[in-house]
Structure 1
Amino acid sequence: MAEEFNNLPEGCIATILSLTSPRDACRLSLVSSTFQSAAESDAVWHKFLPSDFHTLLSQFPSSSFPSKKHLYLHLCQNPLLIDNGKKSFQLDKMYGKKCYMLSARTLFIVWGDTPRYWAWTSLPDARFSEVAELVSVCWLEIRGWINTGMLSPKTLYGAYLVFRPSPAGIYGFDYQSVEVSIRVAGGEVSKRIVYLDAERGRRLRYQIVPRRIFNRARFLTGFEAPPAEHNSNNNSNNNRNNNSFDFQYPNINNNNRNNNSFDLQYPKERGDGWMEVELGDFFNDGEDDKEVEMGVCEIKSGDWKGGLIVQGIEIRPKTVLH
């Protein structure tokens, strides 16, 4: 069968490969030298690029790439700032699906412009020019919006809050859950409970307990059993540090979640050094342009909390359905 395919003109093989996926094209390039040559052609990789990539790149006329494959890999590994630097765009390496991150400046943050509660600062390793640092609030509410018309059709997307603790550390979140939500216009709101304290999640994963118990009442108060929450999902994130076409996604540190204590939603570390927690997911059927609203709220306890640095909300594919 391989010999029969090798007898086909290279242009015909390139057309066939363009109907597959970037992952499949790279795998099939190992079949023969003819397949390899076809798999490297611009005709194949042009098909894997989004139809509006020229518009996205129009902001950077000086950019030049030796081939469409190089351009594709560049968009997978290097987020492209758009909308005056307030959003970023990149491609999912495995299937070429669109990914976006909304900067903190594009989000609705209650009291976000009040220095007493929130501070705006710059960090050298942040994707955007500004990030939002939570100083102290008793009412935490963050919301963001994106239209499905910007995204790839027939794709299951997940939304993730991207943040990190401030150098002074976080407080008020160690035993306080946060409600997150996602809603596609015309549909029902999907809600779940998460925790934003990664250190508490680490203690649960490794079953770290205090060596001494001075007081039974104090022990029960400080280490009471947490309520059961929704199961967390396995997440993927683009590997932005590897120049080769590696389809593994090592950026998210997944842990064994068979134990009930692992079923709680806790932040996970990303390959870029930030943390993320999933807000929910939605399927973009691609038929109508609908608004998706994502939210992060803790408004019930009335307790003061602070010490989070919010970079934004990322929307990226979870799985691809055919």
Structure 2
Amino acid sequence: MEEASRDEFEMFSTLPRDCISLIFSLTSPRDLCSLATLSSVFRSMADLDELWEQFLPPNYQDILSRASTPVHFSSIKDLFFRLCDPILVDDGQKTIAVEKTSGKVCCMLSAKQVKFFNDRSFRKFGRVCEYLPVPESRFMNAARLVDPSFFDFQAMLTSAELSNNTTYVIYLVYKLNTTTYFDWKEGTCILDSLPMTTVELCESNSSPDNNYCCLVSVEDIHQACETEEEMEIINTYLPSEITSRDGETVYYPKKRQDGHWMEVALGEFFNGNEKDTILVHLTAFDTSHIDTLLIEGIEFRAKIL
């Protein structure tokens, strides 16, 4: 079997370079890096600019022209891996990155790209939030909600900013400080005692999807339990993963990889080939226990299966 595999590999290696290049073009960035380790011929071909250019967004030159600081690169492959780390664009109000295993575009809106309200009629009464510099933020400012006990916000992004034919998950990136995580009473839904928000997600030509998200992680709720009775309630009634509330999806947050911020999914959608506008509308309805809420932004991240 090993000898047959070796013969097949040698036969594949003798193919014309154009044929090998065509086959490589049907792979992914991850596959291409793996193929480069198999032989010197494959390694030289796996570095070709024309192969790596197909993994970049079609509008990558426009993205580079919008970058807040110049992006320097020695080859298209080098550019691809530089874009795997988010770059600031549009005067520092957005970040754009490519997902390293697939090349799918990911985009994050800063808090200044989000419209905040403190009234259900989408009007502002007094100051809704203040913008503060936060050292660990990729943006110049994050938004601190003046009254986190109730707020509304809307965020919009055109689908042309994202990869076609791709499922995206939208995340709220934030920090919070709260002294009481829940105040559960027997006979009521435990979700009603947690800091919850409703999320309406829609594209301009479709009906909205409605979800819920909890702003406190299950792990933090466990750590906040002060009695065995509270721990028993949590273990009995609180799910550890995505669950359902009245037929709607409920998402729970987790720490981001940077270790500084929390993220909670707001919902997901499929981005086809049509030009469209994605609207995210979040309403906080039970956040009276939150003392401080700091929002960095809204991230549109390609879902990797």
Both proteins in one fold, TM over 0.5: yes
Q: Give yes or no for contact 2:116–2:128 (8 Å, CA) kept in 1.
A: no
Q: Give yes or no for contact 1:172–1:303 (8 Å, CA) kept in 2.
A: no
1:113 Cα shift?
7.8
More strand by share: 2
1:310 Cα shift?
0.1
1:93 and 2:100 equivalent?
yes
Task: Give the one of 289, 293, 311 matched to 2:275.
Answer: 289
Q: How many Å separate the matches in 1 of 2:96 and 2:81?
A: 13
1:305 Cα shift?
4.2
1:107 and 2:114 equivalent?
yes
**Percent identity over the alignment?**
31
- State the secondary structure of the residue aligned to 1:197: coil
TM-score, normalised via structure 2 length: 0.79
Amino acid at match of 2:296: Q
Match of residue 150 from structure 2: 139
Match of residue 187 from structure 1: 206
Task: Give the one of 252, 264, 287 matched to 1:266.
Answer: 252
1:94 Cα shift?
0.7
Higher RCO structure (Cα 8 Å, ≥6 apart):
1
- Structure 1 pair 113/128, CA: closer, same or farther in 2 (3 Å)? farther
Q: Which runs of 5+ in 2 are unaligned?
A: 1-7, 183-193, 244-248
- Structure 1 pair 289/122, CA: closer, same or farther in 2 (3 Å)? same
Match of residue 295 from structure 2: 310
- What's the RMSD between the two structures over aligned residues? 3.0
- Structure 1 pair 131/172, CA: closer, same or farther in 2 (3 Å)? farther
- Runs (4+) off by over 6 Å: 112-115, 222-225, 227-230
Aligned residues: 275
Task: Give the one of 171, 174, 197 matched to 1:160.
Answer: 171
- State the secondary structure of the residue aligned to 1:126: coil
1:150 and 2:137 equivalent?
no
1:47 Cα shift?
1.4
Q: Give yes or no for contact 1:171–1:307 (8 Å, CA) kept in 2.
A: no
Q: How many Å separate the matches in 1 of 2:70 and 2:235?
A: 58
Match of residue 41 from structure 1: 48
1:14 Cα shift?
2.5
Q: How many Å separate the matches in 2 of 1:24 and 1:138?
A: 48
1:190 Cα shift?
1.4
- Structure 1 pair 65/132, CA: closer, same or farther in 2 (3 Å)? same
Q: Which runs of 5+ in 1 are unaligned?
A: 214-218, 233-262
